[in-house]
Amino acid sequence: MIFELDYGNEKLKVKIPDDNLLDVIASKPVKPLPDPSRSVIESLKAPIGCAPLSEKIKDRKNICIVISDVTRAVPTELILESLLAELEGYGIKKDAVTILVATGLHRPNIGKELEGLVGRRIAANYRIINHDAHRREDCDFIGKTKKGTPVILNRNFLAADFKILTGLIEPHFMAGFSGGRKAICPGISFMDMFRHFHGPAILESPGSAFGVLEGNPFHEESTEIAKKA
| Catalytic annotation, pick one of 106, 131, 134, 198 | 106
Residue 161: how many other CB atoms lie within 10 Å: 11
- Collapse the DSSP code of 210 into the 3-class scheme (helix H, G, I; strand E, B; otherwise coil) and give the result: coil
- Collapse the DSSP code of 84 into the 3-class scheme (helix H, G, I; strand E, B; otherwise coil) and give the result: helix
Strand-pairing partners, residue 162, are: 63
Q: What is the CA radius of gyration of the chain?
A: 20
| Catalytic annotation, pick one of 131, 134, 172, 196 | 172
Task: Judge whether 106 counts as a catalytic residue.
Answer: yes
Give 205's DSSP letter: -
What span, in angstroms and rounded, lies between the C-alpha atoms of 191 and 188? 9
Give 66's DSSP letter: E
Task: Judge whether 198 counts as a catalytic residue.
Answer: no
Active site (catalytic) residues: 106, 172
